Structure 1
Amino acid sequence: MAEEAKWYVVHTYSGYENKVAQNIEKVVENRKLHDLIPEVKIPMETVTEIKGTKTVEAEKKLFPSYVLVKMVLTDDSWYIVRNTRGVTGFVGPGSKPVPLSDKEVEALGVDTGTQTVQTNIEVGDDVVMVGGSFDGMSGTVTALDLENAAADVTVSMFGRETSVTLPLTQLRKED
């Protein structure tokens, strides 16, 4: 029966996402309804913030106030989710649950964790390199590669402009 389960979006009070997910999972466990509601997820992304030379990773909710529930839509499953404390309703016309399409599920990255890097460094910024073989040298950022947490920096060496790719952790914005 779990093959028929589809992903639905549930709206919650702000800050209640974790509680709603836990409560639904608890009811499913207690009533042995795994065939009706096999999975509950809060879409998260890992955000890497680079501040100076420190790298800090944090989990952030992709869609605050929303929880994804994979379920077979029956009167029972609808009732369980709809009457969970903190749930304001399903996303759909007139609060009628509408399942997400396969394309939407894929776009949400439900089955794969997404990762993003955030930095205060931008293209065109003057930076100082810290650590590594370019320690203490200055340059200008010409390109950012957030996927790999790196930047292309133009450095003046031996009277010529040279482009080098460095990890963001080795760059500090010039004051």
Structure 2
Amino acid sequence: MKDVDSPETEVAPAASEAPAPPPPAPVDPNAPPKPEVDEESPMDWYILKVAFNREDSIAEALRKKVRMEDMGEYFGDIVVPSEDVATFTRDGKRRVSKRKLLPGYIMVYMSINDDTWFLVREVGGISDFTGSAGKPQPMEPEDVERFVNRPEVSDEDETPIKTAIPFKVGDRVRVKEGNFENQEGEVDVVDEANGRVTVIINIFGRSVPMELDHWQVEPL
């Protein structure tokens, strides 16, 4: 009897293995934490820590970055907090100049989300937002009034220049009036020619040099 070959069993081809997922991107241990914010953060005023003596150029660089990235809908005013100060030369001529209220800081009206946070962080000279635990903290309304919504100097604000300064470097003093009334600090520079002193004051956890008229401070 003729043997009948049994039909060969078809073997299904082996399924191709799925490609392995790419490895996670390396984490920079020095990178600042992402902010803990809602997807739709409302517009508000925030404070940025910046390099000393570069406040104006950094503010302009941030404005330019916002325009280049077409992110204007998420940003409002970018302000270097300053005041108009009337001083007098030795020959009695009045001169009005800008004086920074918070050296080392600028203020930004913005909505915070991932895109705006990274945009700000990419601008050279900006170190961080003020806040805690990686979460930018909006400014208090009274601080907005003190540092942003400031009146201009008028002719009635003229004050005679004073040159007799009863302080020396290292003296502990208290601010008597102005935006930093009752703040204590240490005299760092005495400018007898202009009747001014530079006082180191702790502001937002940072030692900041503040230039004041000598009559604005008193000894402790």
Per-residue CA distance 1:37-89 (angstroms, 9 max, x = gap): 12201011111112342111111111111000110011111111122100111
Matched residue, 2:161: 120
Query: How many residue pairs end up in the alignment?
Result: 119
- The residue type paired with residue 25 of structure 1 is R
In structure 2, runs of 5+ residues without a counterpart are 1-40, 164-220
Q: SS of 2:137's equivalent?
A: coil
| 1:66 maps onto 2:105 in alignment | yes
Deviation at 1:121, TM superposition (A): 3.9
Match of 1:13 in 2: 51
Are 2:71 and 1:46 aligned? no
TM-score w.r.t. the length of structure 2 is 0.49
Higher helix share: 1
Q: Going by fraction, where is strand more abundant, 1 or 2?
A: 1
RMSD over aligned CA atoms reads 2.2
TM-score, normalised relative to structure 1 = 0.61
Match runs of 1:1-175 below 5 Å: 4-52=42-90, 53-108=92-147, 110-115=148-153, 117=158, 119-121=160-162
Q: Hey, what does 2:32 align to over in structure 1?
A: none
Task: Report 1 or 2 for greater relative contact order, CA contacts < 8 Å, sequence distance ≥ 6.
Answer: 1
Runs of 4+ in 1 over 4 A off after TM superposition: none
Query: Which blocks of at least 5 consecutive residues in structure 1 are unaligned?
Result: 123-175
State how far apart, in whole Å, the 2-side matches of 1:40 and 1:73 are: 14
Q: For residues 12 and 117 of structure 1, what CA distance do their matches in structure 2 show?
A: 32
Note if contact 2:65-2:123 (Cα within 8 Å) is conserved in structure 1.
no
Give the % identical residues: 25
CA shift in 2, pair 1:77/1:66, >3 Å: same
